Amino acid sequence: MDKFVIRGGNPLLGTIRVSGAKNAALPAMAAALLTEEPVILENIPQVQDIETTRKLLAAMGAEVELGYGRAHHRTTICCRHLASPQASYELVKTMRASTLVLGPLIARCGKARVSLPGGCAIGARPIDLHINGLEKLGATITQEHGYIEASAERLRGAEIVFDKITVTGTEDLLMAATLAEGETIMQNCAREPEVADLADLLNKMGAQIEGAGSSTIRVRGVTSLHGAKHRIIPDRIEAGTFIIAGALTGGDVNIVGCEPGHLDAIVGKLTEMGVKIAHNGDAVRVAGYGDLTASDMVTEEYPGFPTDMQAQYMVLATQAEGSSIVTENIFENRFMHALEMVRMGANIKIEGRRAIVRGKTTLSAAAVLASDLRASASLVIAALVADGETIIDRVYHIDRGYEHIEEKLRAVGAQIRRIGEMLPKRVAAPLVRA
Ligand code: EPZ
């Protein structure tokens, strides 16, 4: 397993370009299942979850071209011939977002066999809301041997009210509803920008969706969808991660290619703590000078402060004067990173869904373990600030959702390098696939 070796103390100075949003690209790739025609997606991030989704679609019989070059990060997906509408445990266990194929497969093929995703480091993460909604649309769903078996003659529009706000649940049902007979009204939907971006793509494919990005979405079903070309929105969580890294290293970083309008809660909370942030078109500039003041933070569904920024925020709170209470409202076990930060010298007490962070504390280098995607990012930030050389193990977690993070950070002055396992260097397969 690859590790990162990071020597702290260097201010980040320069420009970092944000990649396309992983959590917009994944549902967009699944949406290609809804049509026989090619779907072209641009600004696709070069991260492991995209490769996993490519494998998932190819295993069903889809033709997936995936190319990363200076000019474009693009995938062309053609699902004309779907030989086997199923998602195997081997792939689903590595990426729970694979359940995003469930709705499209039922809508397009009238059947689906998708592995239940199983557990996750940050929480139980059931998919009952996906299943309940698909049954309301007329699907027959059974579960056996760890798989969901679903079938439907043709889905029928329905009224769906989500008991809890679910991002991929909203996206799964949105995709299914586009080909259902009649109208579907979904209430208590997720309002994340990634949901609105998916609806933009689906409408380009001929769907009739109104209200995406708000809590009520109305879909008028159509008999078929056609191909389309779409550019994936920038990754707001990657942007927020680099804002905190720039602030904490006492640097001056220009983060370009982002969508500042998606960052309001993040920028608002960080500014409240004393981080100097300025917007300029599609760029956000952060300067890391001046003292930071502790501030409580509660994670909420969009447009609130995102749970995917909670771990990164916690590092910031260790460097602020005073006590910050961090409340994690979305997932029941998303403080694993805190225990690693304590080993680096942070003063953090966990009480159920709350973490009390007392700052300012000096962080010192240590050997630490990444447990999930965003925890890994927070440990990278902590290592950039810590005295000495930190070793972060299991960085495959970070490779799932951050494109070339060590190159991006090195380009602005960070001392970070990746060390592979002591096996012959793997010859990376070309990422452009026929
Ligand atoms: C999406 O996960 C994101 N993943 C997550 O990002 C993100 O943390 C999460 O939304 C919350 O914003 C993708 O978009 C691929 P949820 P998702 O369904 O859709 C409960 C990252 O780091 N719930 O909105 O799986 C669930 O347990 C990842 O990029 C049910 O109870 O999250 C949680 O407590 C991590 N039943 C809450 O709802 C269900 O059927 C919100 O989960 C579905 C969800």
pTM of the model: 0.95
- The answer on pLDDT for 94 being more than 70 is yes
Q: Which atom of ligand 1 is nearest to the CA of 164?
A: 38
Mean pLDDT across 138-162:
96
Nearest Cα residue to atom 41 of ligand 1: 166
d(CA 255, CA 69): 21
373 shares a domain with 286: yes
Question: Which two tokens mark 177?
Answer: 């509803």
Question: Which two tokens mark 384?
Answer: 């950039």
Pocket test for ligand 1, best of 168, 194, 215, 237 (most atoms within 8 A of CB): 168
Pocket test for ligand 1, best of 96, 125, 127, 165 (most atoms within 8 A of CB): 125
pLDDT tens-digit readout, 297-354: 999 999 999 999 999 999 999 999 999 999 999 999 999 999 999 999 999 999 999 9
pLDDT of residue 290: 85
pLDDT of residue 71: 60
Mean pLDDT across 380-398:
96
Cα of 58 from ligand 1 centre, angstroms: 25
pLDDT tens-digit readout, 237-255: 999 999 999 999 999 999 9
295 shares a domain with 195: no
* Upstream peptide bond of 424 is cis (omega within 30 degrees of 0): no
10 shares a domain with 100: no
**Closest alpha carbon to 362 in 349, 372, 347:** 347
Cα of 420 from ligand 1 centre, angstroms: 31
d(CA 162, CA 171): 12
pLDDT tens-digit readout, 248-276: 999 999 999 999 999 999 999 999 999 99
311 shares a domain with 388: yes
324 shares a domain with 215: no
Provide the domain count of the chain.
2
d(CA 375, CA 335): 8
37 shares a domain with 122: yes
- The answer on pLDDT for 412 being more than 50 is yes
Nearest Cα residue to atom 1 of ligand 1: 167
8 shares a domain with 30: no
Cα of 51 from ligand 1 centre, angstroms: 20
Strand partners, 390: 6
383 shares a domain with 267: yes
Strand partners, 5: 391, 417
- Does some domain include residue 434? no
109 shares a domain with 10: no
Evaluate whether 137 touches 131 at the Cβ level (below 8 Å).
no
Q: Which tops the pLDDT comparison, 420 or 79?
A: 79
Residue type at 394 in one-letter notation:
R
Cα of 125 from ligand 1 centre, angstroms: 7
Nearest Cα residue to atom 42 of ligand 1: 166
Residue 266, number of CB atoms within 10 A of its CB: 24
Average pLDDT over the chain, rounded to an integer: 94
- The answer on pLDDT for 69 being more than 90 is no
- Report the pocket of ligand 1 as residue ranges, CB < 6 Å: 23, 26, 97, 123-130, 164, 166-169, 190, 307-308, 330-331, 373-374, 401
The secondary element (H helix, E strand) that includes residue 391 is strand 389-393
pLDDT of residue 68: 85
Q: Which atom of ligand 1 is nearest to the CA of 401?
A: 29
Cα of 308 from ligand 1 centre, angstroms: 10
Considering 198, 215, 231, which residue would you say is the last residue of a domain?
A: 231
Cα of 252 from ligand 1 centre, angstroms: 33
209 shares a domain with 170: yes
Of the listed ranges 19-28, 112-121, 153-162, the least confidently predicted one is: 112-121
- Does some domain include residue 79? yes
- The answer on pLDDT for 431 being more than 50 is no
d(CA 209, CA 271): 36
139 shares a domain with 192: yes
Helix axes 128-136, 167-177, angle to 10 degrees: 20
Q: Which atom of ligand 1 is nearest to the CA of 301?
A: 12
- Does some domain include residue 430? no
Considering 231, 266, 291, which residue would you say is the last residue of a domain?
A: 231
Pocket test for ligand 1, best of 116, 135, 165, 167 (most atoms within 8 A of CB): 167
Which residue numbers are catalytic? Answer: 120
Q: Which atom of ligand 1 is nearest to the CA of 97?
A: 15
Evaluate whether 290 touches 276 at the Cβ level (below 8 Å).
yes
DSSP state of 186: E
pLDDT of residue 421: 60
* Domain carrying residue 281: 3-19+234-419
Task: Count CA atoms closer than 13 A to 263's CA, side-chain side.
Answer: 31
320 shares a domain with 196: no
Nearest Cα residue to atom 28 of ligand 1: 308
Chain centroid to CA 263: how far? 15
**Cα separation values, 208 from 156, 174, 183, 221, Å:** 15, 11, 10, 7
Considering 184, 202, 231, which residue would you say is the last residue of a domain?
A: 231
Question: Which two tokens mark 392?
Answer: 């972060």
d(CA 413, CA 58): 39
Strand order of the β-sheet with 297-298 is 297-298, 322-327, 354-359, 347-351
Query: Rounded to the nearest 5°, which phi and psi values hold at 176?
Result: -65, -40
According to DSSP H, which parts of 115-192 are helical? 128-136, 167-177
